[in-house]
Chains A and B, each alone.
Chain A
Amino acid sequence: MGRNDNQTVAYADVLDRLMAAASTGDRNAYRQFLGEASGRIRAMLRRKVGADSELEDVLQECLIALHEKRHTLDPGRPVGPWMYAIANYKLIDHWRRRGRSRLVLDDTADIAVAAETFADVDVAALLEELPDAQAEAIRLTHIEGLTNLEASERLGIGVSAMKLRVHRGMLRLKEIANGQKS
């Protein structure tokens, strides 16, 4: 057995031990379990999800799912496969909700686009050219100054969907603005 295999067994043992203790009602063990699980899942997600804010969204969805579905872990079964199955499911579900695109959404990218492109144009007028959903997303985040989370809560959609609307809207606005300048 190689070093990595030993590490995997050790990690699995830690998770198994903590979850076994948590199932008896030990809150401290449960806190440690969730902390350990978030570390493992974050490492997994880092290889598949680009932007940090998006990674944290998916990670939090995974932790909530682990918590809400903790009864689906049968006593005595290893925690690792159960945990990673849920994390993978939530990641795929996240991609699906985002429109089957694995486009990486970086919070700073949209701001950069805005600064370069929209300095001398009437953004409010340009928003009329966009689909309502994208225009509303940009109004909330770039004119009213709400965060993606606040805006998504106001519209009743997920944060990732919100970011996607903003991202696509900003790209479209850039195209329109460049078209008007040339």
Chain B
Amino acid sequence: MTNTASLIDRLVDEGPRSKGGHTQRFALPLLAAFGLCIMGVALTLDGAFATLESEGIGSIGVKWGFSLALLGLGAAALWVLGKPGRPTRQAVYALAIPFIPIVVLLALELTIAGPLPFGETWRECLAAMLVMSPIAFAGAVLAMRALAPTDLRRAGLAAGLFGGAVAMTAYTPYCPERGILYMVEFYCLPIMAMAAFGWAAGPRLLRW
């Protein structure tokens, strides 16, 4: 009997049906990373939603609208990219959708009012993004182990965007800044940097 034939025998002995639970094994690291980031900022920072009374829901609404859309699309893209043989282009292109209204709002802000000044909180914001994005990125990488990504660069890119989106979602309630330019500089650019890292490191981190 050839090696391949005996291998087939062994695989058949293990059973034709998988044990299941892969959806949970995919979702759990994503939820754990999200929960860890939310808990981390809640334990280390004060003043969540402090600007809600004075500024209204507008600023937080725009930030959360962007970050939650990116988070959801990122998770969906990871799921699609983890299933071999499925068309993935649309899922990857869809990741650009949340950036479109931000570009429009930025153009409006710059042409109508000019860039809004921002205060000293940018350091805290940047630190939060730099600390939490890799944590959530690691969660996405772990989640992909439950699946079988075959385009590792795209999967890495989606994991990076997901990581950044989680960090932004967790920190947004503590951010007093209102400007769109600020949002682009201190949220969107770190998110894109994380995505670029994921694209570059995907082939090493997501191999299976």
Partner-B contacts on A (CB < 8 A): 22-27, 29-31, 33-35, 38, 56, 59-60, 63-65, 67, 69-74, 77-78, 80-86, 88-89, 93, 96
Contacts and interface: CB of A to CB of B under 8 A. Distances in A.
B150 A27 contact: no
Given A59-B4, A71-B20, A77 B12 contact: no
A34 B12 contact: yes
Contact of B85 (A23, A71, A81, A96): A81
17 contacts: A22-B16, A23-B17, A25-B15, A25-B16, A30-B11, A30-B16, A34-B11, A56-B4, A59-B4, A70-B18, A71-B20, A71-B22, A74-B86, A78-B85, A82-B83, A82-B84, A89-B148
A31 B7 contact: no
A35 B85 contact: no
Contacts of B148: 65, 69, 72, 86, 89
A27 B147 contact: no
Contacts of A23: 16-17
B12 A27 contact: yes
A150 B14 CA distance: 25
Tell me the interface secondary structure of chain B in the complex: loop
B84 A60 contact: no
A63 B8 contact: yes
Contacts of B14: 67
B207 interface: yes
Contact of B150 (A60, A67, A89, A96): A89
Given A67-B14, A85-B84, A35 B150 contact: no
Nearest to B149: A89
A64 B7 contact: yes
